[in-house]
Amino acid sequence: MAPVTLKSVTKSYGATSVLHGIDIDITDGEFVVLVGPSGCGKSTLLRMIAGLETITGGAIEIGGRVVNDLEPKDRDIAMVFQNYALYPHMTVATNMGFSLEHRGGSKAEIAERVQWAAGILGLTHLLDRYPRQLSGGQRQRVAMGRAIVRNPQVFLFDEPLSNLDAKLRVVMRGEIKGLHQRLGVTTVYVTHDQVEAMTMADRIVVMNGGRVEQVGAPLDLYDRPANLFVAGFIGSPSMNFIEGELTPAGFKAGNITLPLPPNAPTSGKATYGVRPEHLMLADDGVEAAVRLVEPMGSETQVALSLGEQSISAVFRERIKAQPGTTIRIRPDANAIHLFDATGTRID
């Protein structure tokens, strides 16, 4: 276990800059998720921590030691790849013990470590099989087994669940989280799936365009997004944004007036953000036209037209509204987010 510190880390390919000075402190034993859309630089950053990409500027420290110029093998990290990267010509046991073998471990020690990792991950009965004989979930477990068998200081996960089907992804999500709780190893996990980020992370780093937009605990990011990007990225379905003006009577968007939180500013242009789950059915609410109703069982998702704006709402109750009819809705005034013209949160 070791802390990981990134100090003003930059990365350029020729004249193209892809990471613009990243600063992140990851504490010992923490589970940090790097999340963001495709091309935001999260995988590049992870690969730089692993030593698979060179660092253009700044410093990366693992356990207080600058590792900028160290080979991956000398950083004491283990990585789980998106496509598992299991050696096809080796059995599960050989795959898992491969790194120990090349670090001069004795046969007995390797066998013991492999058995230990296989026991934790439920792979004991699969040790003699080849990767091609395993299901996706089993391969994922072997990839994790290969990582934990060496007892590294840091685990790096590069979108490890994206090749699995939705159901298995939920199962494996729990297994990875459980493994972290059991071993307590510092973990950096990359995903573009914000649900994965929310459910697994101690802290989330939201990235966009090679920059860190916000770092925080999952619920902090959900409750207090620092800007429009984070507000739109965290939460599913995404937050609704309505352009308009702050007035003493409330937030004016065309003919519609929406409630503001207590102590909100009362003048100027702003973007009004409200999550779909924070819209309630209310007789005294504003009128919205129903465009689409999606019953999910546990909740009902409804696509609505509010004046000229398209928004979505999620209701716990089973509403009977049909497309073409209207309903009355009211935002929860305590769960409103306001953003200024630059997209920064207004407190």
Partner 1 sequence: MKTDLSPRMKTALYGLMCVLLIPFVFPTWWMITSSVKPISDIFAFPPDLWPRRFDFSTYAQVFELQPFARQYWNSAYIAALVTAGTMVISSMAGYAFARIKFPFSNAIFMVVLLGLLIPSEVTIVPLFQIFLGWGMINTHWPLILVPIFGAPSVFATFVMRQFFIALPNELEEAARVDGLGRFKIFWTIALPLAKPALGAVAIFTFLHSWNLYLEPIVFLSSTQMFTLPQALTHFTDAYGGAMWNIQLAAATMTAVPVLLVFIVAQKQFVEGLAHTGLKG
Which residues form the interface with partner 1 (CB under 8 A)?
50-52, 71-73, 77-79, 81-83, 85-89, 98-99, 102-103, 146
52 or 333: whose CB is closer to partner 1? 52
43 or 214: whose CB is closer to partner 1? 43
DSSP string, 24-56: EEE-TT-EEEEE-STTSSHHHHHHHHHTSS--S
> Which among 223, 234, 144, 149 is positioned nearest to 193, based on CA atoms?
234
102 or 125: whose CB is closer to partner 1? 102
75 or 337: whose CB is closer to partner 1? 75
Look at the chain and count its residues: 347
Q: What share of the chain is helix, strand, coil (3-state, %, to 5)?
A: 30, 35, 35
Residue 153, SS3? coil
Q: What distance in Å separates the CA atoms of residue 162 and residue 54, rounded to the nearest whole number?
A: 25
Q: With contact defined as beta carbons under 8 Å apart, do 329 and 284 qualify?
A: no
72 or 307: whose CB is closer to partner 1? 72
What is the amino acid identity at position 30? Answer: E
> Which among 195, 261, 188 is positioned nearest to 224, based on CA atoms?
261
71 or 284: whose CB is closer to partner 1? 71
CA 298 to chain centre: 24
CB of 77 to partner 1, least distance (A): 7
What are the φ/ψ torsions at residue 229 (nearest 5 degrees)? -60, -50
CB of 44 to partner 1, least distance (A): 13
CB of 177 to partner 1, least distance (A): 22
74 or 347: whose CB is closer to partner 1? 74
Dig out the tokens for 143 from the structure: 């990839």
Query: To which residue do tokens 């999620």 refer?
Result: 314
Where does the chain show beta strands of DSSP type E? 4-13, 16-26, 31-35, 57-62, 65-66, 77-80, 154-158, 186-191, 203-208, 211-216, 240-247, 250-253, 256-258, 268-274, 279-295, 300-306, 309-315, 326-331, 336-339, 345-346
81 or 241: whose CB is closer to partner 1? 81
> Which among 342, 325, 330 is positioned nearest to 289, based on CA atoms?
325
CB of 199 to partner 1, least distance (A): 25
103 or 107: whose CB is closer to partner 1? 103
CB of 61 to partner 1, least distance (A): 18
CB of 78 to partner 1, least distance (A): 7
DSSP string, 70-88: --GGGTTEEEE-TT----T
CB of 102 to partner 1, least distance (A): 5
CB of 71 to partner 1, least distance (A): 7
CB of 52 to partner 1, least distance (A): 5
